[in-house]
Amino acid sequence: MTRRVLIALPKGRLYDRAVGLLARGGIRIPDAAGTSRKLVLADEQGRYEFVPLKPVDIPVYVESGAMDAGIVGSDVLRELESDVYEPVDLGIGRCRLVLAAPESCVLPRGGALRVATKYPRTTERFFRGKHAHPHIVRLDGSVEIAPLLGLADAIVDLVETGRTLRENGMCVVEEVSTVSAKLIVNRTAMKVKSDDIRHLITQLDTVVYEDP
């Protein structure tokens, strides 16, 4: 028995926009907005099943094949180095991943730099590309506070408007990458559930690029 196509939706800041994009592509999820505590949500036509998941878990589910597809930020994808297809850049949740430091701070030269981040692998890759090897401290939240408390000299973190940085007396040193949400697809699902997956890709691609 072939199961319906399972799609992971990111809980949190991307959730409403992801559901909105799908709806504009004709894939409406009646229970998406409500206070429903269902774990699995079906679309109107019963073609897809949606599971809201924590964004950082979505590439793990999709790469392993436990979920067929998902919507997730490219920041998480690059950090996990996931081996999945990324057929559509959805253009939602746009922000930048930047290296930032306190305005008053002079970054130490050589290997003494300490960088706090939620993205240790991405940070390491970024500095390796510059032939630098700072000490990377992995944190799970409120990264911008680390320099104030003396845990690190600089941070690598997401910036949308720059307000949080300014409020904490920090400025952008350099952009690491631009970030936006992607549709990701499991490699096997693309083949064995190709009709439904291709429909999903076409609908989202049309909404994003031809009917913005």
Partner 1 sequence: MRTIARAPVRSDVWGDGRLTDLESANPEKPFPECREGLSTFLGVGRHIVHQGLIMGERTIGLPAGFRDLIFDAAERRRHIENQFSAVLGAASYREVIPSAVEYLDLYARGNQGVRDRAIRFLDRDDALLALRADFTPAVARIVAGRLPDLHPPVRLWYSGPVFRKTGRHSAQYRELAQIGAELIGGEPPAADAEILDVALECLVRAGFADASVHVNHAGIFRGLVNSLGLEPARLAEIRSAIDRKDMRALDGRLEELGVHGSVRAQVGALSRCVGDERALEDAAGSLVNGESRTAIAALEGLAAALPRWKGRIVYDLTEIDEMEYYTGVMFTFLSTKHSAELGRGGRYDSLMHEFGADLPAVGFSFSMDTLGECE
Q: Is there binding between residue 89 and partner 1 (CB under 8 A)?
A: yes
Judged by CB, which is closer to partner 1: 31, or 205?
205
Question: For partner 1, how many residues bind (rule: CB under 8 A)?
Answer: 25
DSSP 59-116: HHHHHHTSSSEEEEEHHHHHHHT---EEEEE---S-EEEEEEEETTPPPPSGGG-EEE
Q: Is there binding between residue 204 and partner 1 (CB under 8 A)?
A: no
Q: Which of 23, 51, 60, 151 binds partner 1 (CB under 8 A)?
A: 60
Q: Which of 22, 176, 189, 200 binds partner 1 (CB under 8 A)?
A: 189
Answer for the pair 18, 10: CB distance below 8 angstroms, yes or no.
yes
What is the pairing mode between strands 85-89 and 41-42? unpaired
* Binding region for partner 1 (CB under 8 A) out of 58-66, 98-106, 146-154, 169-177: 58-66
> What x-and-dash track marks residues 7-46 binding partner 1 by CB under 8 A?
----------------------------------------
Q: Is there binding between residue 49 and partner 1 (CB under 8 A)?
A: no
Torsion angle defined by CA atoms of residues 158, 184, 7 and 76, in that order, rounded to the nearest 10 degrees: -30
Q: How far is the CB of 84 from partner 1 (least distance, A)?
A: 8
Residues whose CB falls within 8 Å of the CB of residue 179, separated by 6 or more in sequence, listed in order: 73, 74, 75, 93, 94, 95, 96, 97, 158
Q: Is there binding between residue 78 and partner 1 (CB under 8 A)?
A: no
Q: Rounded CA gap, 170 and 182, in Å?
A: 29
Q: Is there binding between residue 159 and partner 1 (CB under 8 A)?
A: no
Which residues contribute to the site for partner 1 (CB under 8 A)? 1-3, 60, 64-66, 68, 84-89, 185, 187-194, 205, 209
